[in-house]
């Protein structure tokens, strides 16, 4: 029985599903929105569940990550961690998507 994972059976112009999706995101100019949506859905993993549970609103606009939190204590904590949060967010997607963090 043929093993289709074997490169000998693949044509030279065949690409993986991952490569096809990556190409589609670039061709249809969906990459930025896809990266932004990925960040928003991964927010609890990036920031931690304790702070994520106290986040009232989060969105990205013009390379700015806007985060609205319910308490002054959390707001202060986020202010202190601002640079590290931006590093973590951008590392998550593998490129600079967020250049500024605005805490509301």
Domain residue limits at 72: 31-103
Q: 20-29 b/e with 16+ CB inside 10 Å = b?
A: eeeeeeeeee
Tokens standing for residue 104: 């509301």
- What pLDDT shows up at residue 4? 55
CB 27 within 8 A of CB 65: no
How many structural domains compose the chain? Answer: 1
- Is 36 inside any structural domain? yes
Give CA–CA dist 64/50, Å, rounded: 22
- DSSP letter for each residue of 7-34: GGGS-TT---HHHHHHHHHHHTT-HHHH
**73 belongs to a structural domain:** yes
pLDDT, tens only, 19-64: 999 999 999 999 999 999 999 999 999 999 999 999 999 999 999 9
pLDDT at 13: 74
- % pLDDT > 70, the chain: 88
Question: Is 49 part of any domain?
Answer: yes
The CATH code of the domain that includes 79 is: 3.30.300
Residue 83 falls within a domain, yes or no? yes
Q: Is residue 86 part of a domain?
A: yes
Answer yes or no: is 12 within a domain: no
């Amino acid at each position: 029985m043929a093993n289709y994972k074997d490169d000998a059976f693949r044509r030279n112009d065949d690409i993986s599903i991952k490569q096809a999706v990556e190409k589609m995101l670039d061709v249809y100019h969906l990459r930025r929105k896809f990266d932004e949506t990925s960040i928003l859905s991964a927010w609890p993993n990036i920031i931690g569940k304790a702070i994520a549970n106290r986040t009232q609103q989060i969105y990205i606009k013009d390379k700015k990550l806007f985060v609205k939190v319910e308490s002054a204590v959390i707001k202060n904590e986020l202010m202190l961690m601002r640079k590290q949060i931006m590093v973590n967010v951008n590392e998550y997607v593998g490129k600079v998507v967020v250049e500024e963090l605005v805490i509301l």
